[in-house]
Amino acid sequence: MRLGVMVRNMGSASTPAIIAECGRYAEQAGMSDVWVCDHIAIPREESEGSGGRYLDPLATLAFLAGVTTRVGLGVTVLIVPYRPALPTAKWVASVQELSNNRLQLGVGVGWMEAEFRALGVERKRRGAITDETLAFLDDCFAHDEVSLNGQKFLFNPRPAKPPVLIGGAGDHCLERVVRFGDGWMPMQSDPDKLQAPILALQGKMAAAGKSPPSVVPLGGLPIDDPQAARDRLEKLAAIGVTGFIHAGRYTTSDEFKVVVDQLSKVQS
Kindly give the confidence (pLDDT) of every residue in the chain, 268 residues in length, as a single tens digit, with 9 standing for 90 and above: 999 999 999 999 999 999 999 999 999 999 999 999 999 999 999 999 999 999 999 999 999 999 999 999 999 999 999 999 999 999 999 999 999 999 999 999 999 999 999 999 999 999 999 999 999 999 999 999 999 999 999 999 999 999 999 999 999 999 999 999 999 999 999 999 999 999 999 999 999 999 999 999 999 999 999 999 999 999 999 999 999 999 988 999 999 999 999 999 998 7
- Cβ distance 244 to 234 under 8 Å? no
Separation CA 76–CA 126 (nearest Å): 17
The contacts of residue 258 (CB under 8 Å, 6+ apart) are: none
Sign of the CA dihedral with 106 first, then 110, 116, and 118 last: negative
Return all residues near 52 (Cβ < 8 A) that are at least 6 apart.
42, 43, 44
Which residues contact residue 57 at a Cβ distance below 8 angstroms, ignoring those fewer than 6 apart? 9, 36, 37, 38, 75, 78
Identify each DSSP E strand in the chain by its residue range.
2-6, 33-36, 72-79, 103-108, 145-148, 151-154, 164-167, 183-185, 214-215, 218-219, 243-246
pLDDT score at 35:
98
Q: What is the pLDDT of residue 267?
A: 86
Architecture of domain 2-267: Alpha-Beta Barrel (3.20)
42 in Cβ contact with 50 (< 8 Å): yes
List, in order, residues 6 or more apart from 208 with CB less than 8 Å away. Answer: 178
- Residue 88 has a CB neighbour count (10 Å cut-off) of 21
> Burial letters for 196-207: b for 16+ Cβ neighbours within 10 Å, e otherwise?
ebbeebeebbee
Euclidean distance between CA atoms 97 and 80, whole angstroms: 20
- pLDDT score, position 91: 98
Q: Which long-range contacts (CB under 8 A, 24 or more apart) does 222-228 make?
A: 223/259, 223/262, 223/263, 223/265, 223/266, 224/262, 226/262, 226/265, 226/266, 226/268
CA-nearest of 205, 189, 218, 5 to 108 is: 218
